[in-house]
Structure 1
Amino acid sequence: MLLFLFGCCYTISAAQKDTLTVKLDTLELVQKKIDQSELDVFRDNPDFNYEIVKSTAPDWWVSFKNWLSNLILQFFEWIFGVEKASGIFNVLLRILPYLLLAILVFILIKFFINVNARALIYNQKAESLVTLSEEEHIIKNEDIQMLIQEALEHKNYRLAIRYYYLLTLRLMNQKEIIVWELQKTNADYYREIEKIDLKKPFANITRLYEYIWYGDFPIDENKYLKAEANFLSLKNILQNG
Structure 2
Amino acid sequence: MSKWLYLHIIFLFFGISQNANATVFDETPVVKVIQDSIYTDTEPIDKREYDNLKDKYGGDEFTYERTVENSGWWSRFKQWLSDFFKDLFNINSDAQASDFTDIALKVFYVVIFLLVVFFIVKAIINKEGNWVFGKSSDKRIIPVTDIENNIYETNFKSLIAEAESEDNYRLAIRYYYLWLLKTLSEAEIIEYDVEKTNSDYYLEIEKTETKEEFSYTSYLYNYIWYGEFDIDGHQFNKAKNAFTQFLKTLWK
Q: TM-score, normalised by structure 2?
A: 0.50
1:98-122 Cα offsets, whole Å, 9 max, x none, are 3133133124324534543564466
CA contact (8 A) 2:174 2:221 kept: yes
CA distance in 2, matches of 1:111, 1:204: 41
Q: Which runs of 5+ in 2 are unaligned?
A: 1-5, 19-91, 129-143
Kept in 1: contact 2:149–2:194 (CA 8 A) = no
Partner of 2:204: 192
How far apart are residue 124 of structure 1 and its match?
A: 6.2
Distance 1:216 1:5 in 2: 139
Within 5 A, what are the aligned runs for 1:128-207?
Answer: 136-137=148-149, 139-207=151-219
**CA offsets 1:112-139 (integer angstroms, 9 cap, x no match):** 3454356446646865896876662252
Query: Aligned equivalents of 2:101 and 2:172: distance in 1?
Result: 55
Q: CA-atom RMSD, angstroms?
A: 3.6
Match of 1:102 among 99, 110, 129: 99
Q: Which residue of 1 aligns with 2:46?
A: none
- Deviation, 1:96, is 2.6
Q: Name the residue aligned to 2:113.
A: 116
Q: How do residues 7-46 of structure 1 correspond to structure 2 at under 5 angstroms?
A: 7-9=12-14
Which residue identity lines up with residue 215 of structure 2 in the other structure? Answer: A
Length, aligned pairs only: 159
Task: Quote the Cα distance in structure 1 between the aligned partners of 2:147 and 2:158.
Answer: 15
Q: Structure 1, residues 143-198: CA drift from partner, whole Å, max 9, x if none?
A: 32232223223322112111101101101111112111233322332333334553
Rounded Cα–Cα distance in structure 1 between residues aligned with 2:247 and 2:236: 16
Q: Matched residues in 2 for 1:6 and 1:196: separation?
A: 155
Compute the TM-score of the two structures, normalised by the length of structure 1: 0.52
Between the aligned partners of 1:197 and 1:212, the Cα distance in structure 2 is 23
Q: CA deviation at 1:142?
A: 3.0
1:227 matched to 2:230: no
Would you tell me which structure has more helix in proportion to its own residues?
1
Q: Quick check: 1:147–1:163 contact (8 Å CA) kept in 2?
A: yes
Q: Equivalents in 1 of 2:14, 2:212: separation in Å?
A: 149
